[in-house]
Amino acid sequence: MSDTSGIEKAIERFYPNPTNLVKDEINAFINSCKIQNPDEWEKLTISFIASNLRVDIPEGNFDEQLKILYHIKLNLMKENGSSLNKEIPGFITENVLKMPSNRGYIWKDKKYFGKIPTENKPVVLFEPRKGKTFIHVFEATETKIFEKLKGQKEQRLLKIIKHVTITERPRPVRKPIKEKEEVNKLVPESSNKFSVLDSDSETEYTSDV
């Protein structure tokens, strides 16, 4: 290759509509290649693509490796419910490859989880909407739903859904009612411990819970 147009074309096939974050990564990689030996460009390109897909480098020559990696990407997209008709936004199919498995997205009532194994942590799913994002935090006993407006760091707690566990109970024994007890009490709303989730939908995976 006399210039980087060959590797740029190869990468473009994997990321035809890259997000700004991915575009920056690609540009940084291309610029780094320009100061390397051109004989190493193909090897570096395969390593870059495989690293982004989080898979091992396949065997074979450059064209064979590209073909194998592209087949892997198609399979990953299918696993995430993505089809080639671009019904799923590109940032979702790309970001889940780099997100831990306890994070992901909700798109058209379907869940898409990250591919990186992680420890047992609360599941956090981002539901992008026009001008805002709903953040669903699934914990052991409850699910919290927050709303974050585009461009803002603060989030508003919309609702808390308590998980109901149905267990078999013994038949109640009738007892005389001595007096009526008060059971409804006001509980102060707890603060949002997920306030670190302060970025837009396309880059939410950078935060930790």
* Structure token pair of residue 192: 């949002």
pLDDT in tens, 3-56: 788 888 888 888 887 777 778 888 888 888 888 888 888 999 998 888 877 778
What 3-state class would DSSP assign to 9?
helix
Query: Which residues fall within 8 angstroms of residue 14, CB to CB, at 6 or more apart?
Result: 49, 52, 69, 70, 73
User: For 130-204, where are the E strands, in sequence order?
Assistant: 132-138, 142-149, 156-162
pLDDT at 95 over 50: yes
Query: Which residues fall within 8 angstroms of residue 162, CB to CB, at 6 or more apart?
Result: 141, 142
For 182, phi then psi, to 5°, come to -85, 125
pLDDT at 174 over 90: no
Q: Measured between alpha carbons, how far is 63 from 67 in angstroms, rounded to an integer?
A: 6
pLDDT above 90: percentage of residues in the chain: 19
pLDDT at 178 over 60: no
**pTM to 2 decimal places:** 0.46
Nearest to 142, CA basis, from 161, 155, 170, 168? 161
Q: Measured between alpha carbons, how far is 76 from 70 in angstroms, rounded to an integer?
A: 10
Summarize the confidence of residues 72-96 as an average pLDDT. Answer: 71
**192 within 8 A of 155, measured Cβ to Cβ:** yes
Higher pLDDT, 110 or 206: 110
